[in-house]
């Protein structure tokens, strides 16, 4: 089912930017359902009314909350976080240094020509609480007017692992459609998409929830007489496609693409055959142009990248605890698992017990681990390792080695498995998937 939120046109816009690089803009269509991807979800975090930090300055007042409800939480679901921050900065809600901090951490430099002068509805509010009967109830501000007096409460089901992580994990009755706004080609445009909310399975009180948008996007690349259908996963990142990953769909295939298989922003895609290969770099999704942007690139299989099949750029750095110099060359003839993490990253810390178990079981003559901590103070890492020592080398990305910048790491945890030949075997392998991959490669 295609949503009438944007039209797929037959032409492909081309634009010459700095240098000789050609940018292709492929218009996007939102398609309802997860398509060739597994579902991805986000935690429905609650606003803290006593918080005075950075994000609290973006909160909006809402009205119409039922007086009979108890334990009420409000949540602003971000639809375009860059637009949200920009308009709050323009309104004077954020200081110059706060805006600069956000731009640096997100590696984003705003283009005023592609951003509206006035605030737009780039978010939607959700409230939940206990109704007059004590049941966990939820409302979505479907008309996005910050008033819940005209909304109808619903009662999300519990999301068990087997029915939230697979395609078709939602039912029609669970969807709530809402309106929001985007600034597209110089105009503010109202769009309408569905959201699904489910109770977290480990939360007996029923006040914690996941949400996701059961959508993905599609476009088509026409080049040298070939037609290549491209899909972009949605889940929790629609409609701004923050991750901007993509896949070139196989013809007549029901294959479901897991995250490690997807072509990430900055990665290369190669289309064509033999001597007629054409390579593009995935520049990500432009909300302003409602398009996937691809940049022409000379075909070079030797180019450094985190992408499977490409060589991993060599590094030399100091091990955090011993001060000993270590380098990628030290691990020749071995598989090297490189984990980009930080003690501040909850997901990274939660993965450590599994990584410790896997590391203990691998053949150290064939497999080694190295961790690279990003946005990390030495004091906090030292304190952490005293309480929870790790058996493999630790490196801090700092102003000298600039490893996080070198490898363009923008999300944590991120990991890369490098082969004995120095080429990337796979990336973003977690838990049992990593364990199976190492067993497959080493025959154990």
List Cα–Cα distances, 105 to 23, 405, 410, in angstroms: 25, 11, 8
Measured in degrees and rounded to the nearest 5, phi and psi for residue 78 equal: -75, 135
Domain ranges of the chain: 1-300, 316-442
Do residues 42 and 211 make contact, with C-beta atoms less than 8 angstroms apart? yes
For the chain, state the CA radius of gyration. Answer: 23
First to last CA, the chain: 45
pLDDT in tens, 32-72: 988 888 878 888 889 988 888 889 999 999 999 999 999 99
Question: CB neighbours of 132 closer than 8 A, spacing ≥ 6?
Answer: 66, 68, 69
Asked whether the CA dihedral 16, 17, 22, 25 is positive or negative, the reply is negative
Asked whether the CA dihedral 55, 56, 62, 65 is positive or negative, the reply is positive
Do residues 74 and 239 make contact, with C-beta atoms less than 8 angstroms apart? no
Other Cβ atoms within 10 Å of 324 Cβ, number: 9
Question: CB neighbours of 334 closer than 8 A, spacing ≥ 6?
Answer: 365, 366, 367, 368, 420
Residues paired with 194 in a beta bridge: 177
Tokens representing 95 are 């200081």
Other Cβ atoms within 10 Å of 315 Cβ, number: 18
Return d(Cα 375, Cα 342) in angstroms, integer: 7
Extract the residue ranges of the chain whose pLDDT is less than 50: 1-11, 16-20, 161-169
pLDDT at 86: 96
Question: CB neighbours of 17 closer than 8 A, spacing ≥ 6?
Answer: 23
What element of type H or E holds 316?
Answer: strand 316-318
pLDDT at 301: 58
pLDDT at 166: 45
Classify domain 316-442 at the CATH topology level: Glutaredoxin (3.40.30)
pLDDT at 6: 38
Return d(Cα 257, Cα 260) in angstroms, integer: 8
């Amino acid at each position: 089912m295609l949503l009438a939120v944007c039209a797929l046109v037959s032409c492909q816009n081309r634009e010459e930017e700095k240098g000789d690089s050609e940018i292709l803009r492929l218009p996007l269509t939102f398609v309802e359902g997860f398509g060739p991807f597994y579902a991805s979800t986000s935690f429905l975090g609650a606003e803290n009314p006593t918080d005075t930090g950075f994000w609290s300055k973006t909160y909006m007042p809402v009205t119409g909350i039922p007086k009979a409800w108890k334990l009420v939480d409000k949540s602003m679901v971000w639809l375009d976080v860059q637009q949200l921050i920009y308009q709050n900065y323009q309104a004077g809600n954020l200081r110059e240094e706060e805006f600069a901090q956000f731009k640096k951490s997100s590696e984003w430099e705003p283009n005023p020509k592609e951003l509206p002068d006035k605030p737009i509805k780039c978010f939607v509010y959700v409230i939940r609480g206990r109704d007059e009967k004590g049941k966990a109830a939820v409302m979505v501000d479907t008309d996005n007017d910050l008033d819940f007096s005209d909304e109808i409460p619903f009662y999300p089901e519990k999301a068990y692992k087997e029915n939230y992580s697979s395609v078709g994990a939602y039912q029609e009755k669970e969807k709530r459609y809402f309106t929001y706004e985007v600034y597209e080609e110089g105009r503010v445009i109202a769009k309408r998409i569905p959201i699904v909310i489910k109770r977290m399975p480990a939360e007996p009180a029923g006040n914690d929830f996941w949400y996701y948008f059961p959508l993905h996007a599609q476009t088509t690349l026409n080049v040298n007489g070939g037609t290549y259908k491209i899909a972009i996963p949605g889940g929790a990142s629609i409609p701004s496609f923050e991750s901007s990953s993509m896949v070139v769909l196989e013809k007549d295939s029901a294959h479901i693409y897991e995250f490690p298989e997807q072509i990430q922003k900055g990665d290369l895609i190669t289309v064509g055959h033999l001597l007629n290969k054409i390579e593009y770099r995935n520049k990500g999704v432009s909300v302003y142009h409602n398009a996937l942007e691809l940049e022409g690139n000379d075909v070079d299989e030797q180019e450094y990248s985190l992408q499977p099949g490409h060589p991993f750029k060599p590094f030399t750095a100091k091990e955090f605890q011993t001060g000993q110099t270590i380098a990628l060359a030290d691990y020749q003839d071995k598989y090297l698992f490189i984990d980009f993490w930080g003690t501040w990253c909850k997901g990274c810390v939660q993965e450590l017990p599994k990584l410790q178990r896997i590391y203990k079981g691998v053949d150290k003559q064939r497999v080694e681990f190295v961790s690279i901590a990003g946005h990390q103070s030495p004091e906090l890492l030292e304190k952490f390792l005293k309480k929870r020592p790790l058996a493999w080398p630790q490196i801090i990305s700092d102003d000298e080695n600039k490893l996080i910048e070198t490898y363009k790491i923008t999300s944590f945890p991120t990991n890369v498995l490098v082969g004995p030949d120095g080429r990337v075997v796979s990336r973003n392998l977690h838990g049992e998937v990593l364990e199976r991959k190492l067993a497959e490669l080493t025959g154990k």
